[in-house]
Structures are given as C-alpha cells and as structure tokens.
Structure 1
Amino acid sequence: MSEIPSRADVVVIGGGITGCSVLYHLAKAGCNDAILLERHQLTSGTTWHAAALVTVLRGSPTLATLAQYSAALYASLEAETGQSTGWRRPGHLTVAASKERMESLRHSASSARSFGLEVEMITASEVAAKWPLLRTEDLHGALWSPTSGRVDPSDTCQALVKGARRRGARIFENTAVTRFDIADGRIKGVRTAFGTIQCNTVVNCAGLWSREVGAMAGHAVPLYACEHLYMLTDPVAGVTADLPAVRDSDAYLYFREDVGGLLVGCFEPNPKPLPVERLPRDSGFVLMDEDWDHFEPMMKNAIHRIPALETAGMRSFINGPESFTLDSTPLIGQAPEVRGLFTACGMNSSGIVFGGGVGWAVTEWITRGRPPIDLWSTDVRRYSAGDNNLKALSERIPEVLAKHFEIPWPGHDYDTVRSVKRTPLHGELKARGAAFTQRAGWERPAWFSPDGQPAAPDQTYGRPSWFANWRAEHEAARDGVALFDQSPFSKLLLQGRDVAKFLQRLCANEVEVAPGKIVYTSLLNAEGGIESDLTLTRLRADAFLLVTGAQQGVRDTHWLTSNIGEGEHVALANVTSGSAVLGLAGPRSRELLARLTPQDMSNTAFPFGTAREIEIGYGRALALRVSYTGELGWELHVPAEFSVGVFEEIMAAGKAFGLRLAGTAAMGSLRLEKGFRSWGHDIGPTDTPLEAGLGFALRFDKAGGFIGRDALLRKREEGGRTRRLMSFVFDDPDIFAHHHEPIYRNGERCGSLSSASFGHSLGRTVALGWIKGGALADGAILEDRFEIEVAGRRHAATPHVKAPFDPQGSRMRS
C-alpha cells in the first residue's frame, strides 16, 4: 500500500457504490486531491451482493432524478473508461395480483409521467408476451418501465474508480478511520492507523457502518440493518438475458435473470433486524447464515408466480445485510453538528439505483455550495439527534423493510415507534377522539371522531370513511370556530445585539419592525431559492421568535447559524418544547377569546399581523394574530405547564360557540383553498418567490439588501419566471388527487401538482401545481384549457391566479 498522504481536499469514507461515485464525481469536477478510504476492499459491505437493479420508477421527483442520472451514468462509463459496467436495459415490470394493486399502479404511472419517466400500463396478456414463464391468469395487469436496467455492481465500481484515478484521485484499501480531528465545530482531519490526513471536507459513505462513523464526529445518522435474502438458481429453460426484471409486490418478491438462471429476492413481511454488533469486523464481504425456514413462504410465492422454479436447481443462497432509514429514504447532505462533514448513506436496498446520482449531487453540494436539485426529502437534517435512538431504530427499521412492497395508501403511517413524541395536549386530544398521524415524529391529530372511537386508517385513494368528520372540522373553521394543536411547529428564539441586522440580511422581507409586529418572510439562498419560509415576531429590540415547519427545525437552525458572521452577536435557541401552540380559527374566534381574556381583542386593538401577551384563563399566552387557514384567528403560545389548563378553559367556554377540535386534514384543505404554500411540498430551495407567487414578501429596496436579492433582480430583468405555481380546482366533484399528478395545458404536459386536498368550501378537490412553458401571464393562463391526470385519466381543472377561496384575504383581516 502506498503511503497515506498528510493532507487532502476531500476524504471519502467507504468504497461501495456510493463512495466510488462520490470520488469519481469529485475528480471529474476538478478536485484531484480527493482520496477514498475503505476499511476492507472496494465493493465490500453491501455493494458486492446487491441485486443491481436500476429501476428508475420512483415515488418522488427527487428519487426519480437521482435514479435517472445513475442509469445514464452507468450506460456511459464504458465509453469513457474502457471498463464495462454490465449495463443492460431490459426494462422492468411491476405486476398487479389484486384490483387494489392495479389502482395503485395507475396512480404510480401518472406520478411517473409527471417526473418525465416513460411508463405504460399493460394487460396480463401483454405481460405474458414479455415474460412467457410467468403465471399471468391471476394478474390484473402491470406497470411497464422500459428504461429501467441493471448492472454488475463490482464492474460499475471499477469503472468509477478507473475514471477517478485517471483524474488524480487516490484510493486506500484496508484503511479504517479511527477518529476525526474537530476544532471550532469544523472537521480538520481524519485519523487512521497509518497516520492523520488533514482535510476540511469528509463524506461519510460507510453504508452499514455510517451510524458509527457519524458518531465519531457527534453527527446523528439514524439507520439500522436488516437481513436481506435472495437465491440464485441454475440455468432455467426459457430464461434469457433480455427478460425484464419483475416485481410482484403482492407476493413480496422480485425476479431478474442471472447467467441464464433467476435471482429471486424478497422484502418479506416479517424481516429480521440485524444489530451492528452482529456484523463481523474482520471481513468486509459480509454474509449472514442461510435461513431457509424464513425464506420458505417467499419461495412458495415464487413458485406460484414462476412454476418453473419448482424444478430449478439452486446455485447459491444470499443473506446479506442492508441498511434502512426511518422513512425508507436515503440520508444525504451536510451534517448540522459539524461543518465540513457530509453524509451519503441509508440507501434502503437501492444503493445501485441511487449511487450514481448521489455522487453527482453531493459533489455539486461540496464544490458549488448547493445541491443541483431539491434534496429536502433525502436531507439528513430532516432528523434530529433524538431520532437517532437505537431502540426506536431496531423497532421501526424491520417495519420499513416489511412495507417496502406494500401499497402506499395516502395518509398511511408506520405502526411502530408511536406515541413517542407527544405535545402537552396529547392526552386531552386522545380522550376526545383524535385519530393520530405521525408528522416529523410528532403525534398529531389527523381528524376527530365525535364518539371518541376513531376508525382505522382507510385504504383508499378516494373519499375516506371519515370524510364527514373532516368536512365538519373544515366548516367549523370557515363558519364558526375550530381549535388546532399546532405545538409541533418549530419555534426558534433569536437574541443578541446584532440580531436585527443579521435577520435583515437573511430575510427577504423587511424585519426592521416595531416590537409586537409579525412578518411573513422567506430565507433565500444566493440563487434566490427558498431555503425556508416562516413567520417572524419581534419580541424586543434584540429578540425575535421564528415559527417554522415541524420538520424544518434542525435544517433552519443549521441555515441560520451557518450564516452568522464573524463577530456578530446572535444566539439561537430551539424553544419548541417550552410551549404548546393552540390555534384558534374561525369568524367566532374573537368572541370566544373575549370570554377568556380581559385584553381587548378587537380589530382596532389587535390587528392582523401583530402579537401581544394576554391573560387567558389562569395562564398567560403570547397571542399571534396570524392564520394558516385564511380565517380570523390567533396562535396562542402557552407555556407547557399552563397548556392543559388553558386548553380546558377554551373547551369549556367554546361550547357556547360550537367550538370543534380539528386536525391536520382540515388544516390542509383550508390552506389549499387559500393557496397558502407549504415549504417542502409546494416550494423549496430550487424555487424562487417570483415563481412561487410570493413576490409580495420581497423588499428589494430595504437597507443592506438580503441574500438572494441580486439573483432575483437578474431573473426579474430577464423576464422574471419560466415557471409558475398556480392553484387549480377540479371540475368534477368526485375526483380526489394527492400530489405529483401531471398537469396538461391544451393537451400538452406542462407540470405537476405539488399538493392537493378536497376543498369542502368549494365542493371539489383543490390543488397547487407548477406549470412551465408557454405564456405565464394571468390572461393567457385563464384562456387556456387545463387537465390533470389522476390514475391514468385526465380531468378538467380550472386554474386560479388568486386564491380560489376569499381571494382578497378579507376574512382573516376582519
């Protein structure tokens, strides 16, 4: 082995597909002083035993983009490096053995089209024509993805390594990382048994061991391993290399050709968790013991689908470890705990699919300061240190694997690790019939049952069984008064001598306001993209309260603290747990509050966009006159210890006003009728306020400017926007949409929905969606014909350039 260098620009830890891809892209980007450290040999860990499918059909635009990038990269590497990757493109079939699965696949096909993927719904007879050995008489059809393919994982890594080495990158095998040198919150070096490497950037691609590597730097990487089983058969008559890969999700199985035989793998409903201490430390090419008893039910399913398997000989049985995350989505991005540390792991048995794209995205992030696409759904900062709990991981991760092939019903939750993160009002809400959903780890009521016995979650893409409850909650907010538990919203307290100057630089809106004023604002990146949107309340000259999304707390804290300048006196504290937030909404909310407080709640004394401390019951609250429902209302920030008592007082007084408890379903339908954007769903780091219809919250002329101002001015001078976020209302009241449905303008696909819900005040589904291309002026849009594809069928929809409900916003200002 050559001598370890004393310095490098970037150190990549882990020589699997992801690490090799990161190194290749770094070298290609001109970072020729990058090195890779592998504690055993390249491709050891999980890459070497991967099934190596490159299935581009994915459930989100982010994952679809990463998969498509990987496929294009693997197809091109041989021409560049001379090293074959084994790339073939036989396509992929997802078959449906039930009517419910077929309906789900139709929704998946529509989503795939919105991502720009080529897909087709085909009949059972067409499946038989593509796969003659497959039993098809019990199938309802299939989803065909012709651009999906496969590779040889070891050869692909060798091609990536060859391309990296040609550009000066170096690789050191049998070199384990033992610790990090960290000073002033930044990576300074990586220690090994062979010496210390000084560096400013490290990428953790350690796969199964990424949690342990992250822990060396105090970085939370919540992943956990499970055993993953597949078998390889001897050659089978009729099996050829051009056969598509097959997924039979109803049987928990996937198949592909392998040297004339078949690879038969499963994501079984009863997986076996694998604690890291059971993984042998002295071997990189890890396999666990064969477990035929565990695999036998899956084998019976396989024989049913491919009868030829009953007489096929077995070549080998693989039981290899795979790492999974809490939400079955990778962990990518900057570590919030230490500067210079990036994470790229937790691929959920899809490392080959995502590896190429992840290497590209992480390299762009390192070399250009931002990722090339919106990576929020995969961002490691969606989790806090509290989520990196070993007991929780060991219980949730097997369920993640078990649900890998389940139908992704709208609103369906995991069953494990529940009632862990509760608001102070959880017990009160549970006693009153709350049907809880889990958002960012928090237990939040989705809706309430009047009889206190909420039904189990529905398995439907259409009208849920609790529709009437949801409608009543929505209408209470529109016509009377409703109470929401908004406690999980992240609350950040910023204080210090320079806090106003600091926020003025980071916020696109004017924040130099008087104490007691509330400002809605975006935090932008240098390109004008929306890093967050939030409300900001000035408490004192040197103190502000920021309220942001429940899952954005870690990310927003990292963004804010990373932008504190040298010598600036600014302190930030996450105070989310210190208070409950009771959201009162509806035209009778003022009357109700007047019964509970001696303070004057009139529009003159307490106008929209202001905040005051009030007495309420036996407690006090910081009352914010804001609304995410579009109705008259307040957010009452009550100290946690007083919150239950205040809640009881509100409920008691509310009986006279028909007060109704309401959940996240009603909040979602209310905000969409008003066209209110949701960060992470409708807007994100690659969207600008000019495109998103948030130009009203920009103050280009404020003193000192703001991050992203120059980029927005350039875009405005160039025409402002090439895409636009719009509201849509379906013409047919019986159609339900959710998100990622394609939008068609005059018959041509022009965009997709970002979020949707049934609008009870409108009597039909309302949505937000992005459109691009063509004229984007109001008049041109309103003259054109729009349709939205839901489960393969197009439905007429009416665009709205203003909010579909109360477009002037008079109700919440009344």
Structure 2
Amino acid sequence: MTQTALPGAADVVIVGGGVMGTSIAFHLAEAGVERIVLLEKDQLGSGSTCKAAGGVRANFSDEVNIALGARSLDAFARFGERPGQEIDLHQVGYLFLLDTHEQVELFRESTELQNRLGQPTRMLSVEEAVALAPICSADGLVGACFSPTGGHCTPESVVLGYATAARRRGASLVTGCEVVGLDAVGNQLTAVRTNRGTVRTRAVICAAGAWSAELAAAVGVELPVTPLRRQIVVTEAIDGLPANLPMTIDFGTTFYFHREGPGLLVGMSDPDEQPGFYLNRTDTWIPRLTETMARRAPTLLDIGLTGGWAGLYEVTPDHNALIGEASGVSRFLYATGFSGHGFLQGPAVGEVIRDLYLGREPVVDISPLDAGRFQHAAARAERNIV
C-alpha cells in the first residue's frame, strides 16, 4: 500500500485517528475547511476506538452527556446516508439492571431528566427486564432502566465511514506518522513535528485519547487524562439468543454484554487494574467475571470463549470528557478524556469541534467540559457509567 505523503503545511492538524479524530476531520472538511491534516501513529482506529464495545446511548445523568449522546444517536441512525457507510447498527435498546433501591432512585432521577430532554428512557420492573434479557437471573435485582433508542454498532465501520468521506472532501489522513513534539513561538503554535517530518500549522486539535496528556503538556496545557486498561471477551455461539437482545449492563458489578454474531461480547471493569499503557490481555479479572456470571447469568458459565482483547479507557478525575480550546496557547483545541463513552459521542463532538474551530456557537454547549474546571472546583460527576 502506498503511504500517504506528509504535507509540509496545514491550516489545521488533528492528532489521533480514532472515531474522534476522523469525525472531526469529516465535519471540518464538510464545512469547507481546507488543508486538513490528520496524523495517526498506527492505523486508523487502532487505539481505543476499535477496542470499544460499540455501545451507543443517551442514558446519562448529566445534561451535556445526554445532549451529546442523543445527537450522536441521530447521526448513527443516518450514517448510511451521511457520511455514507454501513455500520451494522442494532438499536435494540440499552438495559441497566439495578440491585439496590439507591440505584433505582439514581436512575429514576436521570430518567426524568432524559424524558424532559426528549429521550424515551423508562424504568422497568425486574420481570420486564428479564423478559428483555432472558439469559439474566432476577435474583437480587430490584429494578431496571431501559433506553429503547440505544444499542450497538461496529466501531471500525464508523471510523472507515468518516475517514473515507473526509478524504473525499480533500482532507489528508496520514497513518504510521507519530507526533513527537509541538513547536510554538510565544503563545502561537507554529508546527507539529513527527517521525516523518514537520507540518507547519497554527492550529492543532488533540484527539489522541489516552495519549493526550503528553501531547498537550508540550505547549503547557494540562489535560488530566489517565490510561486504564479494560478487557473484553467474546463467547462461542449461544443457542436461543433473542434477535433483539439489548445491550445489558449489571450496574452494581459493571458486567455487561451484547450480541456479537452468534455469541456475546462480554466485559467488566477490574477494580484492581492499575493505570498505565497496558495493552496485553491478562486472566486476572476472569475469576471476578466468572463469579458475577454465576450470580447474574449462570448459563454463560457453560459457554466457551473464542477470543478477546484489551484496550484503554482515557479517564478523567470526574469521568467526564475534556472538550474545548486552551486559553494559554492560541488555537490548541482538544476532545479527549471520555472515560469510556467517547465512541458513542464521536459524531456530536465532531460537530462541536468544527464549530469551535470556526468560531461558531457549538451545537451543544460544552463549556462545562472545559479542562479548566478542575482548577475552579467545577468538576462534574457522571453517574450512569461503568
């Protein structure tokens, strides 16, 4: 395959070729921005995006996250027309299983907020929840929450769709090109240095996920992003799985699953996981997963595994994204730190960064997600996450 040439200059350089970077490239190019260069150190989507579970939803407790999720759901539903790519979207719903009355009250509050914002989320009885996800046991459950418009799709296809459409509109997406530094004179960016040469530019957009903190620090910008490994396994074929099995999350344990071909994609957080750029698979979390399955979905204990992978969450102190433009250096924008819900917000964030770059009022008010919030005791807690 012929390697894309590295342009010597650009109006804007995007660092990171996952869903966030490619979405930004597409939305900028669609808006008529010229000389867009996206730099990805490996292959497009090879960082966190293509290691994601692919869930899409607007079921959050924070108004900004609801708005980003809802706008993105609309974009995913129309992805075949714009930008034009089949993404295997299954809007089978998002089901949270709840095992304490405190959890029920938390989700009841967020459901009321979502309803006020136009989302059809609703609370369910235990019986209704188990009817939707019959491989689950009702033991210990006290309620559930269901979002019928949520579901899951294929992250690789989303990246491909955005990348193809961005290139068609003139953007240069350069893979195998690692950023090694940023140059500035005073507070003005002048260039991005890579292992393949230098790109002169006065605007940089950081969409580097778990690798964002080091990039931003090069120009004195603090982005408090910490890498944290999360692992996923895929099961063998399972007879009798409902075609419309929802994306299901056992909220108290973080155990989750959705259909993946004839089997299930299964994941769960590991509270013993230490921060770091660890991408190797381990078995240390499997005993906890097995224990949880025995209680919540015991029939899965008899199903073999066909594979799995490890990826990185990009975690912030309040588990909310960092989206905005730096105040200390001219034209350094960022979209990172999504703490596990970046893939599902990718379409809307691409629009937001487009608007910030062009000096427009963003389609969603993301001012509460500015990175400076931690210096002003304005952190926001998103509660509907695992």
The normalised TM-score by structure 2 is 0.93
TM superposition shift of 1:89: 0.4
Aligned partners of 2:213 and 2:225 also within 8 Å:
yes
Question: Separation in 1 of the partners of 2:262 and 2:338?
Answer: 28
Give the corresponding residue for 1:383: 374
The aligned counterpart of 2:183 is 181
8 Å Cα contact 2:62/2:382 also seen in 1: no
* Amino acid across the alignment from 1:168: G
* Match in the other structure for 1:352: 343
Q: In 2, Cα distance between the equivalents of 1:130 and 1:98?
A: 20
Instruction: Give the letter for the 2:357 counterpart.
Output: I
CA contact (8 A) 1:241 1:258 kept: no
Amino-acid identity (%): 29
Does the CA contact (< 8 Å) of 1:187 and 1:338 recur in 2?
A: yes
Return the alpha-carbon distance in structure 1 between the equivalents of residues 119 and 251 of structure 2. Answer: 20
Counterpart in the other structure of 1:304? 295
Q: Using the TM superposition, give the Cα deviation of residue 181 of structure 1 relative to its aligned residue in structure 2, in angstroms.
A: 2.0
Distance 2:382 2:39 in 1: 29
Say which SS state the counterpart of residue 295 (structure 2) adopts: helix
Structure 1 position 126 matched with structure 2 position 128: yes
- Aligned counterpart for 1:215 among listed residues 207, 214, 217: 217
Structure 1 residues 403, 139: closer, same or farther in 2, change over 3 A? closer
**One-letter amino acid matched to 2:202:** N
Pick aligned residue for 1:34 from 29, 36, 43? 36
Q: For the Cα contact (< 8 Å) 1:264–1:302, is it kept in 2?
A: no
Q: Which amino acid aligns with 1:296?
A: P
Contact 1:226 1:271 in 2 (8 A): no
Q: Displacement of 1:227 after TM fit?
A: 1.7
| Alignment check: 8 A CA contact 2:60 2:383 kept | no
Partner of 2:20: 18
Structure 2 residue identity aligned to 1:333: G
Of 153-162 and 231-240, the range deviating more from structure 2: 231-240
Distance 1:203 1:191, change over 3 A: same
Distance in 2 (alpha carbons) for counterparts of 1:179 and 1:25: 25
Alignment of 1:262-661 (within 5 A): 262-268=264-270, 270-276=271-277, 279=278, 287-291=279-283, 293-384=284-375, 404-405=385-386
Q: Which has the larger radius of gyration?
A: 1
CA distance in 2 between counterparts of 1:192 and 1:362 reads 23
Query: Structure 2 counterpart of 1:310, which letter?
Result: L
Number of residue pairs matched? Answer: 382
Which residue type is aligned with residue 263 of structure 2? G
What are the Cα deviations for residues 119-172 of structure 1, in whole angstroms up to 9, with x where unaligned? Answer: 111212211221222212532221110011211000110001111112111100
Structure 1 residue 113, shift from structure 2 partner: 1.3
- Partners of 1:180 and 1:97 lie apart in 2 by 49
What does residue range 687-726 of structure 1 map to in structure 2 within 5 Å?
A: none
AA matched with 2:348: G
Higher relative contact order (CA closer than 8 Å, sequence separation 6+): 2
Alpha-carbon shift at residue 302 of structure 1 (Å):
2.0
- Unpaired segments of 5 or more residues in structure 2? none
For the residues of structure 1 that align with 2:254 and 2:358, how far apart are their CA atoms? Answer: 41
Aligned position for 1:704: none
Give the one of 174, 180, 191 matched to 1:172: 174
Q: How does 1:228-247 map to 2 (within 5 A)?
A: 228-247=230-249
Q: Deviations over 1:238-274 (max 9, x none)?
A: 2244211111112221111111211221134x23123
Greater CA drift, 367-376 or 357-366: 367-376
Structure-2 residue corresponding to 1:686? none
Aligned residue in 1 for 2:70 = 68
Q: Quickly say closer, same or farther: Cα 1:35–1:385, change in 2 above 3 A.
A: farther
Residue type at the aligned position of 1:359: G
For 2:107, give the aligned amino acid: L
Distance in 1 between the 2:231 and 2:265 partners?
Answer: 10
- Deviation sequence 1:529-560 (CA, Å, 0-9, x none): xxxxxxxxxxxxxxxxxxxxxxxxxxxxxxxx
In the alignment, is the contact (CA less than 8 A) between 1:229 and 1:295 conserved in 2? no
Are residues 118 and 204 of structure 1, via their aligned partners in 2, closer, same or farther at CA, if it must alter by over 3 Å?
same
In 2: Cα distance, 1:211 partner to 1:300 partner? 36
1:135 is matched with which residue? 137
Q: Aligned partner of 1:55: which letter?
A: R
**Gap runs ≥5 in structure 1:** 280-286, 388-399, 406-814
What amino acid sits opposite 2:22 in the alignment? C
2:166 corresponds to which letter in structure 1? Answer: A
1:113 maps to 115
User: d(CA) in 2 for partners of 1:371 and 1:79?
Assistant: 23
For the Cα contact (< 8 Å) 2:4–2:175, is it kept in 1?
no
Q: Deviations over 1:680-702 (max 9, x none)?
A: xxxxxxxxxxxxxxxxxxxxxxx
Q: Which amino acid aligns with 2:292?
A: N
Provide the C-alpha distance between the structure 2 equivalents of 1:351 and 1:323, rounded to a whole number of angstroms: 9
Q: Is the 8 A contact 1:85 1:152 kept in 2?
A: yes
1:485 is aligned to: none
Aligned to 2:250: 248
Q: Residue type matched to 1:273 in 2?
A: Q
Q: Deviations over 1:563-588 (max 9, x none)?
A: xxxxxxxxxxxxxxxxxxxxxxxxxx
The answer to whether the 8 Å contact 2:139/2:295 transfers is no
Mapped contact 2:22–2:159 kept (Cα < 8 A): yes
Partners of 1:267 and 1:402 within 8 A in 2 = no
Alignment-derived partner of residue 226 in structure 2: 224
Describe the superposition over 1:626-678 as per-residue Cα deviations: whole angstroms up to 9, x where unpaired: xxxxxxxxxxxxxxxxxxxxxxxxxxxxxxxxxxxxxxxxxxxxxxxxxxxxx
* Superposed structure 1 runs of 4+ greater than 6 Å apart: 400-403
Matched residues in 1 for 2:238 and 2:368: separation?
Answer: 41
Change (3 A) 1:311 1:147: same
- Residue type of the alignment partner of 2:28: L
SS at match of 1:56: coil
Q: CA RMSD in A?
A: 2.2
TM-score computed with the length of structure 1 as normaliser: 0.45
